[in-house]
Amino acid sequence: MQLKLEMNKALVKWTFTSLIMVFLFSSCKKKVQDNYHPKYTAEYLSKQLETAYKENDSARLDAFFEEWHKSVKPNTDEFIHQNKAYTAIYDIYKVFYRPLNLMKYGDYEFGNSLNLNSKYVAIQSRIYYKVINWINFNDQFMIDLKLDSIDCFRPPVNVYNRQILYLTDEYSAALYNFLGEETFNYNLPMSKDRWKDCHHRYRIIRPFLPVDWGRGSATTPLIRWIYLNILLTKAQVYFSIGSSQAGIADFEKEDGIWVMKKSVINEYID
C-alpha cells in the first residue's frame, strides 16, 4: 500500500513537471537567431582608439562612443520573447540593473560612487541561467547545475542620465586591446612604463565609460547567473559588484510584474 502511494506521488510529480515544461517551452520550437551584424571590425575600432589616444583627441573619443551607441541596438522583440524563460530573464534584468544606485544591492563597500561621472554604461553580453524543476529553491540540489545561456544579450534598458552601450565582440575586443591585456590578467608581467601608460589609458576612457583596472569593460553590477523556478514566478540572481564583492537578489512575480524582494551582498571575490 505504501509503495503504491509513493508511486502515485512520483507519477503526479512527473506529470506536473512535464506539463509545466511543455507550457514553458511550447513557443521555442525554432530558436530565433540574433540579427546583429557588426558594422566595423575589432581591428578598425582598435585603431580608432589608438589614434585618439596618441593625438590626445577627446572629440575623436566622443565620436567613437557616440557611434557605438547609435550603431548597436537592443535585441528585437522576436528574439526577447522567443520563449517564456527568455522573457522572464529580460524583464528581471530591467528591474535589477541600477548601476548608479549600487547600495540598492546591499552594503557595498564603496557606496554609490563607482559608476559616477561617466557618460555611458556598458551592458554585459551574456547571461547564464537555469530553469530548475522545483517551485521553491533548495541550495542542496542546486550545486553544479549545468547552466544555459543567452548570448548576444542586449536588453532594452534605461539608466537615468546615461546612454547605453552593448558589448558586442568587436567593441569588447577593441577595448581589451586598447586598455591592455595585462590589466585584465594579474599574472602577466608589466614594466613601470607600461603600468603608467595603461593607467593613462584608463583615465582618458573614464569620462565616457566607468572602466576600472582588472574589472573588465561591462559596467557593474554583473549577473553571474540566474535561477528560475519551474513556474517562472520566482528567481534568484547571483551577481558581482565591483571587482571584489558578490551577492544574491531574490525576485518574485506579483500581478505579472517582477519585484526584487531582497538583495544581500554576502561574499568577497578573491
Distances (CA, A) of 76 to 34, 73, 94, 216: 8, 9, 15, 26
Query: What is the reported pLDDT for 66?
Result: 97
Residue 14 is predicted with a pLDDT of 43
Domain annotation covers residue 2:
no
Distance of CA 89 to the CA centre of its chain: 11
H or E segment to which residue 179 belongs: helix 169-179
Q: Does 6 fall in a domain?
A: no
**Residue 145's pLDDT is what?**
80
Question: Is residue 176 classed exposed, middle or buried when 0-12, 13-18 and 19+ CB atoms within 10 A define those classes?
Answer: middle
> How many domains, the chain?
1
Residue 80 is placed in which grid cell? Answer: 526577447
> Are the CB atoms for 191 and 96 separated by under 8 Å?
no
Question: Residue 125 falls within a domain, yes or no?
Answer: yes
Q: Quote the domain boundaries for residue 102.
A: 38-268
Is 10 part of any domain? no
Partners of 225 in the β-ladder: 238
Task: Please give the Cα distance from 246 to 153 (Å, whole number).
Answer: 21
Q: Measure the CA angle with vertex 13, ends 11 and 18; round to 5°.
A: 95
- Whether 16 maps to a domain, the answer reads no
Q: Is residue 223 part of a domain?
A: yes
pLDDT, tens digit only, all 270 positions of the chain: 554 445 444 444 544 444 455 445 444 457 999 999 999 999 999 999 999 999 999 999 999 999 999 999 999 999 999 999 999 999 999 999 999 999 999 999 889 998 999 999 999 999 999 999 887 877 655 666 899 999 999 999 999 999 999 999 999 999 999 998 888 877 788 889 988 999 999 999 999 999 988 777 999 999 999 999 999 999 999 999 988 899 999 999 999 999 999 999 987 776
CA nearest neighbour of 33 among 130, 148, 152, 126: 152
For 24, 191, 260, the CA distances from 270, given in Å and listed in that order, are 37, 24, 27
In a domain, 122, yes or no: yes
Distance CA 86, CA 79 (A): 8
Q: Cell match 551584424: residue?
A: 37
| pLDDT on residue 214 | 72
Q: Is residue 30 part of a domain?
A: no
**Spatial separation of the C-alpha atoms in residues 44 and 55, rounded to whole Å:** 17
DSSP 45-110: HHHHHHHHHHTT-HHHHHHHHHHHHHHSPPPPHHHHTSSHHHHHHHHHHHHH--TT-GGGGS--TT
* Cell 540598492 sits on residue: 104
Spatial CB neighbours of 123, under 8 Å, sequence gap ≥ 6: 97, 153, 154, 155, 157, 164, 165, 166, 167, 218, 219
Q: What is the pLDDT of residue 135?
A: 77
Distance from the first to the final alpha carbon of the chain: 54
At 188 the three-state DSSP class reads: coil
